């Protein structure tokens, strides 16, 4: 196992680690995004290392490493001096062939154990010129891993790079021949893209004829009119792109962008009696963290509710579900949704007023009873009846109908009698 050393700066620590690996008889280099970030003058978030060994050799050096993926996408995650390391095996006979197979020239650089830069394809010059190009030949890089065309759009959008025109043409000409790829890997690229410049990313995806291939749910929105829109030529796809553009301008949360992407997938499922679970299925296929999936789906559902008739039961549910920051984000998203869609905001404004009034009643009320209090008050056994009665109490409080303890007893007693009869 490689031993950790004393305190030193991050790059020196990693190079020292690589030298120790090399002294153990296994050649190693710092590569990829880590070298790119160092050239740009920033410290990497994680440090990419390749070692001329097999998986067994990596495990011998780093017994605690967690390895994911397979073949060229196999990566082992571990830490060293508090730094995040991503370790993989060398692809090819030497570092030259390894770098030749990497996606872009700006990622096809390496640093040897002495800190000498290896730049065989002009990555440094491309960084200086804000240019993104495939490690030549472009067609080979795309055939090896078609997800690279989505990554191209993501890198160009998040880093403000210009795509080499020849490479751009290659992608456009080859897009129709790309076969199915892993949804999970697409999801990883989307997650990073939404955290950067989401509108620019999807503009590039569309420009390169990739929307239908990788995002068929967006392609299906084209030509479908926005309900309630005053402009006949605005379809759902264009509406979503306008929302993303505004979210990008305002630098809003990437989760809001994800909710905007999936809104019409969800609403079409509800309004046209199709499956409303399709939005959930898309997020699941992208393998995003489960907590983040729930947050985004709740945002999508609540955006739908805010633009439709909203009952007091849904308002009370929001009270339990959303904190103030999330509620404010939901209002921001709905404001953008209605304004970019040229949709009347009358129903939304009415719902927002009802929500704000109900939340104020609930926050200031002295009459909200817990489940245990309701159980003891009426001598009930544990079960769903307690939850139903509690929900009714909260709804009546939200309506402003409960002024004293007498109102509480009357409403809950009436509801209990009704439940017993049913």
- Return the pLDDT at 179: 82
Buried b (16+ CB within 10 A) or exposed e, 78-103: bebbebebbbbbbbeeebeebbbebb
In contact, 410 and 378? CB cutoff 8 Å: no
In this structure, what token pair is assigned to residue 186? 């697409």
| pLDDT at position 325 | 93
Q: What are the backbone dihedrals phi and psi of residue 17, each rounded to the nearest 5 degrees, phi first?
A: -60, -45
DSSP 106: G
Contact 214, 186 (CB under 8 A): yes
The yes-or-no answer to whether 10-125 and 130-210 have a common fold is no
Chain-centroid distance, C-alpha 373: 41
**pTM given for the model:** 0.89
- Return the SS3 of 234: coil
What are the pLDDT digits (tens) for 307-338? 988 999 999 999 989 999 999 999 999 999 99
Q: How many CA atoms lie within 13 A of 227 on its CB side?
A: 9
Beta-carbon-side half-sphere exposure of residue 121 (alpha carbons within 13 Å)? 27
* pLDDT of 270: 65
End-to-end CA distance of the chain: 69
For residue 40, the tally of other CB atoms under 10 A from its CB is 13
Give me the pLDDT at residue 276, please: 64
Domain map (residue ranges) of the chain: 10-125, 130-210, 238-364, 371-421
CATH number of the domain located at residue range(s) 130-210 in this protein = 1.10.110.30
pLDDT of the residue at 74: 85
Tokens 């472009």: give the residue.
Answer: 138
> Mean pLDDT in each 10-residue stretch from start to end of the chain (422 residues)?
51 94 94 96 93 93 89 86 93 95 97 96 98 97 95 97 98 88 94 97 97 95 87 88 97 97 87 72 96 96 91 93 93 95 88 95 92 90 91 93 91 89 78
Those residues with Cβ within 8 angstroms of residue 362's Cβ, 6 or more apart along the chain or in another chain: 316, 319, 368, 394, 397, 398
- Other beta carbons within 10 angstroms of residue 27's beta carbon come to 16
- Gyration radius from the chain CA atoms: 28
pLDDT at 14: 95
**What are the Cα distances from residue 125, in Å, to 106, 118, 165, 399?**
9, 13, 17, 65
Helix (H) or strand (E) holding 314: helix 312-321
| pLDDT tens digit sequence for 25-35 | 999 999 999 99
User: CA 373, CA 375: separation in Å to the nearest integer?
Assistant: 5
The CATH class of the 10-125 domain is alpha beta
Q: Can you name the residues that pair with 66 across neighbouring β-strands?
A: 77
On whether the CB atoms of residues 301 and 259 are closer than 8 A, the answer is no
Identify the pLDDT of residue 34: 95
Buried b (16+ CB within 10 A) or exposed e, 236-256: bbbbbbbbbbbbbeeebbbbb
> Could you give the C-alpha distances from 97 to 104, 108, 120, 124, 148, in angstroms and in order?
14, 10, 10, 19, 18
């Amino acid at each position: 196992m490689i031993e950790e050393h004393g305190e030193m700066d991050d790059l020196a620590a990693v190079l020292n680690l690589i030298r120790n690996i090399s002294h153990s008889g296994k050649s190693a280099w710092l590569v990829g995004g880590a070298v790119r970030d160092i050239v740009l003058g920033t410290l990497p978030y994680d440090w990419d290392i390749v070692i001329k060994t097999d998986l067994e050799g990596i495990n011998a050096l780093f017994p605690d490493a967690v390895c994911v993926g397979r073949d060229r996408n196999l990566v082992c995650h571990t830490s060293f001096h508090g730094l995040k390391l991503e370790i993989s095996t060398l692809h090819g006979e030497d570092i030259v062939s390894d770098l030749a197979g990497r996606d872009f020239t700006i990622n096809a650089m390496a640093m040897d154990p002495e800190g000498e830069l290896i730049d065989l394809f002009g990555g440094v010059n491309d960084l200086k010129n804000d240019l993104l190009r495939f490690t030549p030949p472009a067609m080979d890089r795309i055939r090896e891993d078609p997800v690279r065309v989505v990554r191209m759009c993501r890198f160009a959008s998040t880093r403000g790079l210009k795509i080499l025109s020849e490479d751009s043409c290659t992608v456009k000409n080859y897009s129709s021949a790309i076969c199915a790829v892993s949804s999970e890997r697409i999801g990883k690229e989307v997650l990073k893209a939404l955290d950067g410049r989401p509108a620019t990313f999807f503009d590039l995806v569309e420009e390169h004829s990739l929307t239908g291939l990788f995002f068929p749910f967006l392609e299906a929105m084209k030509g479908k009119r926005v309900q309630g829109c005053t402009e006949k030529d605005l379809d759902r796809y264009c509406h979503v792109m306008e929302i993303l553009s505004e979210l990008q301008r305002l630098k809003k949360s990437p989760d809001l962008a994800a909710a905007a992407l999936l809104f019409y997938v969800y609403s079409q499922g509800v309004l046209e009696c199709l499956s409303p679970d399709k939005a959930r299925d898309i997020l699941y296929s992208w393998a995003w963290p489960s907590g983040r999936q729930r947050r985004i789906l709740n945002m999508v559902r609540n955006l739908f509710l805010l633009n439709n008739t909203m009952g007091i039961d849904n308002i009370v549910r929001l009270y339990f579900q959303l904190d103030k920051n999330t509620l404010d984000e939901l209002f921001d998203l709905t404001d953008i949704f209605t304004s970019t869609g040229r949709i009347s905001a009358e129903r939304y404004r009415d719902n927002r007023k009802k929500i704000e009034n109900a939340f104020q009643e609930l926050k200031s009320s002295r009459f909200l009873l817990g489940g245990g209090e309701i159980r003891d008050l009426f001598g009930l056994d544990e079960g769903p009846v307690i939850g139903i009665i509690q929900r009714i109490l909260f709804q009546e409080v939200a309506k402003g109908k409960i002024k004293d303890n007498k109102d509480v007893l009357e409403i809950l007693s009436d509801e209990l009698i009704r439940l017993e009869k049913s």
